[in-house]
Amino acid sequence: MAAKANPPNPPIPSVWARRTREADQPALSRAAIVREAVAMLDAEGVEALSMRKLGARLGAGATSLYRHVATKDELMELAVDEVFGEMPAPEAEGPDWRAAAARAAESFRATVLRHPWLASVLGQAGLAYLGPNLMSYSERLATLVTRAGFPEPSRAIDALMAYVVGMSTTEAAWLSTVARSGQSEAEFIGRLLPAAQQAAAGHEHLVEGYAAAAAADPVETRNSKFAYGLEVVLDGLALRLGR
């Protein structure tokens, strides 16, 4: 009996794991598709993105898009990497690792607030971390913490980025809610506060917090919250580094 042939390995489901060939359509390049996808994601969110709608915005059918991008998942990988290309690379050189890490964290936050969909899809966008921009960003961040002397650089990076992604995701979701209201952040908070204060009645510390929020600048409040938490994380990393 002839030996049964082993089945071929299934393809890795990532745009970065297969070879692609640009079709002979210079007006509809992959780069143009990705740029329009990012614009659509910024304007309408992840749920609104579809190959059909994207094709309509580009004046092309979905079939034409599939010649450049095989699936919507691949498109999301490409969009994530495109946005990472906007971030300044973490500064790996220099003696002040803490200041460099803070700048990298602040840059990441600013990018997420420009693209509110980003943080929510980082864990879902297939193998987006294989993209060239994200790889370059990760390598510079790893170089930074390695040169700082952390014995397990990946754990230091995970601790820092878990805080940044968590805070940025929450902040982006809040700002998306405000944007849907059609009001400024201060106006939206002004309308929300009476209900919040009523709900907090009988809870001393919450009442004090809402009273302070009524008099505070919302942008400054968000900035100071992020800066405080970032300092706490960096303090903890500095203690680990000193052991």
SS3 at position 229: helix
Domains of the chain: 16-70 (1.10.10.60), 97-242 (1.10.357.10)
Burial 29-51 (b: 16+ CB within 10 A, else e): ebeebbebbbebbeeeebeebeb
Supply the pLDDT for residue 18.
59
170-196 pLDDT, tens per residue? 999 999 899 889 999 999 999 998 998
Mean pLDDT of 12-40: 73
Residue 112 pLDDT > 90? yes
27-70 pLDDT, tens per residue? 688 899 999 999 999 998 888 888 889 988 888 877 788 888 88
Supply the pLDDT for residue 26.
52
Residue 236 pLDDT > 70? yes
Average pLDDT, rounded, for the chain: 86
CA distances from residue 114 to 4, 15, 118 in whole angstroms, order as listed = 54, 24, 9
63-72 pLDDT, tens per residue? 788 888 888 8
Residue 23 pLDDT > 60? no
The identity of residue 20, as a single letter, is T
Q: Is the dihedral of CA 109, 41, 184, 197 positive or negative?
A: negative
Residue 175 burial (CB count, 10 A) = 16
pLDDT: is 28 or 4 the higher one?
28
Supply the pLDDT for residue 98.
94
Query: What is the distance between the alpha carbons of residues 197 and 206, in angstroms, rounded to a whole number?
Result: 8
